[in-house]
Structure 1
Amino acid sequence: MKKYLITSKEFYTNNSESFCSILQKQFKKHKPHYALYRDKLNKNYDKQAADFVKTCSEFENIKSFIHQNTKLAKELNATGIHLTSTQFEEIESAKELGLEVIVSTHTYMEVLQAQKLGADAVTYSPIFSSPGKGEPKGIDDLKKLLNICDIKVFALGGIVEKAQIDLIAKTKAYGFASIRYFQ
């Protein structure tokens, strides 16, 4: 099962040196296959995104993704872009730029739309209880979704312990994505 590490400003700081050091330690400890730079409020977003992509490139098996900004992802030579559920119209242009595309989804309809538009994968959330993310969907709902779609699905939301990952591993999910599990 694939692991998708998502950064958080609360954990990774705005200091470039500290950010890269913490990121390297987490990559060595958890060995994720995918990593997303996500920090909506960082005034130095472009600089830290560049540090993020550079740090990912130091690890042979980590695909780097930038949140929301397709142009920046291409400029930084990131592996891909992680789009929000309001950015479906950007899937095609991101693919034309040679970027892998992951889309945040919260309903079956969004998952199927991302699949139809050519996204490479989706995150589907929240699977477990997660602060401020609404009612958790649960493992049974995830299993039902996986029976009706062909796109790669990362389970996301409230994943903080190995027992939850073990439950996800018993489904056909491509992997899991988390912020807190990797902290």
Structure 2
Amino acid sequence: MHQILKKFYAITDRKQFKYDFETQIKRMLDAGIRFFQLREKDLPSSELFRYAKIMEDLLKGYDAFFTVNERVDIAVLTGAAGVHLPENSIPLDVVKHKFPDLIVGKSCHSLESALKAEEDGADYIFFSPIFETPGKGKPVGLEELKKVVENVNIPVYALGGITEDRIPDVLKTGVYGIAGIRLFIS
């Protein structure tokens, strides 16, 4: 499964985008991003569905795909490649059982959570926040990230406060890839 996962994973937040949604996604595609998470938590279902269809259309012709944050229904109905579950979301193992073809990722903030996500069948995890990030609590740091990478056998994406100049240090931990919002907007 992880052979199809891409190294850089852009998470959408249209409120932080410098351009309208479609233009911003196109700019990210032009910059080489091929893995996206549609994460627009404030939208009603009908609007989130509409944005998912926009993502589906924008990614056609690219070796690119997207997941939908927490909304399995919208992921399935729009042809998204998968769903990404927050740490305290619906049971991952149930999603994998009902929808075995979906890529299912999980947000984790501790080694124990990462091990549980792997046990439950996660295809990848986000581990965060690595560095200081507004509103995301105490950073876990590079040493804890490395510990997670060394103890799970699924791809680990580092997330949180990662800037372009920090990428080399993050990659030295052995992570599979890097996820972010602000990192990929510019």
TM-score of the two chains, using structure 2 as the length reference? 0.88
Partners of 1:81 and 1:94 within 8 A in 2: no
- CA offset at residue 139 of structure 1? 1.0
* Secondary structure class of the residue paired with 2:58: helix
- Residues 29-178 of structure 1: pairs in structure 2 closer than 5 A: 29=31, 31-43=32-44, 44-60=47-63, 62-94=64-96, 96-97=98-99, 98-161=101-164, 163-178=165-180
- The CA distance in 2 between the partners of 1:23 and 1:165, in whole Å, is 21
* Secondary structure class of the residue paired with 1:10: coil
Deviating above 4 A after TM superposition, structure 1's stretches of 4 or more consecutive aligned residues are none
Partners of 1:88 and 1:114 within 8 A in 2: no
- CA offset at residue 11 of structure 1? 3.0
- The CA distance in 1 between the partners of 2:83 and 2:113, in whole Å, is 17
- CA offset at residue 95 of structure 1? 5.2
List alignment gaps of at least 5 residues for structure 1: none
Identical-pair percentage: 29
- CA offset at residue 92 of structure 1? 3.2
From 7, 15, 18, the equivalent of 1:10 is 15
- CA offset at residue 53 of structure 1? 2.2
Deviations 1:19-43 (A, max 9, x none): 21221112112x1231101011123
Q: For residue 167 of structure 2, what is the amino acid of its counterpart?
A: I
* Secondary structure class of the residue paired with 1:103: strand
Change (3 A) 1:136 1:87: same
- CA offset at residue 86 of structure 1? 1.3
TM-score of the two chains, using structure 1 as the length reference? 0.89
Please provide the CA RMSD for this pair: 1.8
What is the number of residues matched between the two proteins?
177
Partners of 1:12 and 1:23 within 8 A in 2: no
- The CA distance in 1 between the partners of 2:108 and 2:13, in whole Å, is 19
